[in-house]
Amino acid sequence: MNNFFKITTFLSNDKKYLFSNCCFLSNDIVIGDYEQTVLAGTLKLSFTDLLDRLMNYKLINFNSNEINKFFNIFSGDINNSCLPTCVESFDGNFGILCFINNEEYLVVKKWDCPILIKVKINKQDYIDCVLKAIKKIDG
């Protein structure tokens, strides 16, 4: 699968500030609002925080019929999210990494949609996506 954070960076008109646009792409799935312009430094901090959370993140195995119930439990604490937090690009979105029937997924609920989105990706590949995103911001 082709999973990556799409990131574009650009300088402000006065060349003092670096801005960015960002979303997560997985084939035809888009997570995040690419149209939101954010400070690149804030986005980088959000990715760095996400990386710290992912390093200690333990995946739980669910049966496919249990995921909605447990997702609602986990989504009560933003620190459980496996998406960048405190940045407008992903504002209101929530994701968890888990096993569903022994296969690894990133499961996401977008702020404006009640349906859970399942992206097949393992934890290490997702961490690699986050590391690449940080490098992209650094230029």
Each of the 139 residues of the chain gets a pLDDT tens digit; together they read 578 999 999 999 999 999 999 999 999 999 999 999 999 999 999 999 999 999 999 999 999 999 999 998 889 899 999 999 999 999 999 999 999 999 999 999 998 888 999 999 999 999 999 999 999 999 8
Please give the full DSSP string across 8-73, using - where no structure is assigned: EEEE-TTSS-EEEEEEEEETTEEES-TT--EEHHHHHHHHHHHHHHHHT----EE-TTTHHHHHHH
From the CB of residue 4, how many other CB atoms can be counted at a distance below 10 Å?
A: 14
Which residue type occupies 86?
C
pLDDT of residue 36: 98
Within 8 A by CB and 6+ apart from 79, the residues are 53
pTM, rounded to two decimals: 0.93
DSSP state of 92: T
As given in the structure block, the two tokens for residue 1 are 């699968």
Q: For residue 35, count CB atoms less than 10 angstroms from its CB and return exposed for 0-12, middle for 13-18, buried for 19 or more.
A: exposed
Selection from 107, 23, 36, 105 nearest residue 72 by Cα: 107
The residues spanned by each domain of the chain are 3-138
Q: For residue 57, count CB atoms less than 10 angstroms from its CB and return exposed for 0-12, middle for 13-18, buried for 19 or more.
A: middle
pLDDT of residue 135: 97
